[in-house]
Amino acid sequence: MQVENTSAHGQAAPESREALAQRIAALDPETDFEQIARFLYAYEFSWDLQRSLEFALFRTYAVPSISGLLAKTGEFERRPRKRYDDTELILTEILEHGFDSPRAKTAIGRMNAMHGRFRIANDDMRYVLSTFICEPIRWLERFGRRPMTDREQRAWFLYYRALGERMGIRDVPETLDAMMRWNKEYEAAHFRFSDSNRRIAEATTKLLLGFYVPPSLFWVGRPVIRALLDPPLLASMGLKPASPWLQGLVMAALRIRARLLRSLPLRRKPRLLTQVSRPTYPDGYRIEELGTFR
């Protein structure tokens, strides 16, 4: 079974960061938001966007109604890597190929079919969507080579707002500022401890650490992950904060990385997550077979 994939939507690679900035400046975020989002994902912020969305997962698991559904199905605890890969592949198929492409339509259909099997509150769906908008912007403000520009933030917001419409999510805020406010208000009202939060957070921690260190060193990595989580989030999952010195060390390391990145050239080839080798799918994948089924 082979991965059915092409290049980054036929876009020629920008030759430098200056060339990329000029391309984005020539685009209208109101109408060209897909193309801008694709440039940010594949060239400018590829590592940072992936990391920020990994940590956005923790925020969704701080809501008992969301973690409770995952715990009830058992999918994430039994097969966390497959669920992670399926989610990432479905979302990046859409981003890499564009909403109107056959591959994206198939991916959106697969995602909606999975969600349609359960009674998921619209506010929970809207909150998960908000994390995909808000957390990358916040991560880049803290740890990125640079923050997103206003134009890039607008395009990133409009891209996910358009995705939310295709998912049938209602009452998505009209502006990024309104979405940022709603995201914080929802967290203040819904973050609270639940055993399902703790269980799904533990499965996620093991999954993420497994990308970087062997299981024998998980004890070293756990406090590092906790250093990147804020107190309300930690409390909702029954986790203790990392020590202040470790928090400072982790923050300093990420900021040093950001400074070093400023002197590096733009990547010459797009980083496409649909083309990353995955142990879950050693022989490739078909979109129609991703995810869970009845």
The model's pTM is: 0.92
**pLDDT given at position 121:** 93
pLDDT tens, position by position, 19-58:
999 999 999 999 999 999 999 999 999 999 999 999 998 8
Least confident of 1-15, 140-154, 200-214, 223-237: 1-15
pLDDT above 80 for 165: yes
Residues counted in the chain: 294
**165-189: average pLDDT:** 96
**Mean pLDDT estimate for the chain:** 91
Distance CA 66, CA 200 (A): 10
Distance, C-alpha 222 to centroid of its chain: 20
Among 92-96, 179-183, 267-271, the least confident range: 267-271
- The confidence score (pLDDT) of residue 117 equals 83
DSSP 273: G
> What pLDDT does 4 receive?
40
- Closest-CA residue to 274 (of 74, 55, 50, 51): 50
pLDDT for 275 equals 93
* Residue 2, pLDDT score: 36
Q: Per residue in 66-89, pLDDT tens? A: 999 888 877 777 888 888 999 999
pLDDT tens readout for residues 188-244:
999 999 999 999 999 989 999 998 889 899 999 999 999 999 999 999 999 999 999
Read off the amino acid at residue 45: F
Q: Is 238 exposed, middle or buried (0-12, 13-18, 19+ CB in 10 A)?
A: middle
Average of pLDDT values for 137-141?
Answer: 97
Distances in Å between the Cα of 112 and the Cα atoms of 83, 107, 120, 165, 221 are: 15, 9, 11, 11, 35
Q: Which two tokens stand for residue 37?
A: 């989002």
- For the cut 90, the answer to whether the pLDDT of residue 116 exceeds it is no
